[in-house]
Structure 1
Amino acid sequence: MTESTQSSLLLRRQLKELARNPVQGFSAGLVDDSNVYEWELMIMGPEGTLYEGGFFKAKLTFPTEYPLLPPKMKFTSDLWHPNVYTNGDVCISILHPPGEDTYGYESASERWLPIHTVETIVLSVISMLSSPNDESPANLEAAKEWCVCELFYFK
């Protein structure tokens, strides 16, 4: 069985599992039924956060080497967040390639592991919306604003 066949079977199984047992906070489906490597997501802003009440669209693009390599995630809705680049790309540890970080910022256990699923990825992103990592921002301006908001509004 080829690597791409294995990854497509795994992705189809995860899609079926999410349809059978939906997870609160997001929904997921294929962009096009003929391509299991391109998923669209709808993420609900978590309660008690600046994003509460919002609905945010995103895409997950999986490599044929999945689950050995992580997917890429990009918000297609505008989202102002310290860990989301202005083009929508999500910067979160579990979506970084496996192994040691060449800059020494993340441990290998924080980065991509083949045990991650669509569910664990999206739940991590929802957690990121609640608790940004402002020490390693992808969007410096959003990180500065987050620190000001946190200082004045959340204390």
Structure 2
Amino acid sequence: MSVSSGAASLLKRQLKEIRKSKDLQGISCGLFDDDDLFVWEVMLMISDDCKYYGGGFFRAKMTFPPSYPHMPPSLTFLAPIPFHPNIYPDGKLCISILHPPEEDQTGYELASERWSPVQSPETILVSTISLFHDPNTESPANVEAAILLREEREGKHKDFRKKCRRCVRESLGEE
């Protein structure tokens, strides 16, 4: 069995498990293209109790490499792209568990925080939902969002919240 056919079998099983799971509230997954198990369409429905993104529906594409599960997939948000410290302006999510399983050249992340084959689409999506509730401003993908969130936490203004609420409204088709 080739690496990619093993990966396809694993992805088929993992997608089926996610679809059946009662524990993954606010997460919906399917194939982006019916013929390609390596590209998933993901919908994240952020709960109303989330301070900045509550009530938002954010669509993303998770793309798995042929070497999965030895190498991580990527998760890219589609329009409208959430204004978030851990999401690049092009929509790509920046989170440690999606970084390749090697030593971090910058020394910021421990190898144990990066991708390993014990991770799964489920752990990625749960971690992503967690980032909506508690964004990481220490190593931002979107510097502007990180600065505005830090300033808001210091009580300087509410600009971060305003931009997030606009993203939520756009995600609901209200703008």
Q: With the length of structure 1 as denominator, give the TM-score of the two structures.
A: 0.95
Q: Is 1:120 aligned with 2:128?
A: no
Secondary structure at the residue paired with 2:100?
A: coil
Partner Cα separation in structure 2 for residue 41 and residue 120 of structure 1? 14
Measure the CA separation in 2 of the matches of 1:39 and 1:29: 6
Matched to 1:33, the amino acid is D
Counterpart AA for 1:65: S
- Residue 62 of structure 1 is matched in structure 2 by 64
1:21, 1:136 → 2: CA distance? 32
Inter-partner Cα distance in structure 1 for 2:42 and 2:70 = 22
Question: Which one-letter code corresponds to 1:26 in the other structure?
Answer: I
Two-structure CA RMSD over aligned residues (Å) = 1.1
Aligned-pair identity (%): 49
Judge which range, 16-25 or 111-120, deviates more. Answer: 16-25
1:27 CA drift (Å): 0.6
Runs of 4+ in 1 over 4 A off after TM superposition: none
Aligned residue in 2 for 1:35: 36
Name the SS of the counterpart of 1:40 in structure 2.
strand
Structure 1 gap segments, 5+ residues each: none
**Per-residue CA shift, 1:77-108, capped at 9, x if unaligned?**
32000010011010000000002101110000
Counterpart among 94, 100, 109 of residue 106 in structure 1? 109
Which residue pairs with 2:149 in the alignment? 146
Shift of 1:123: 0.4
Higher strand share: 1
Structure 2 residues not aligned, in runs of 5+: 159-175
Residues 122-137 of structure 1 mapped to structure 2, 5 A cutoff? 122-137=125-140
Measured against aligned partners, the alpha-carbon deviations of 1:14-57 in whole angstroms (never above 9, x if no partner) come to 01111222411211110112100000111012423200001000
DSSP-derived class of the 1:42 partner: strand
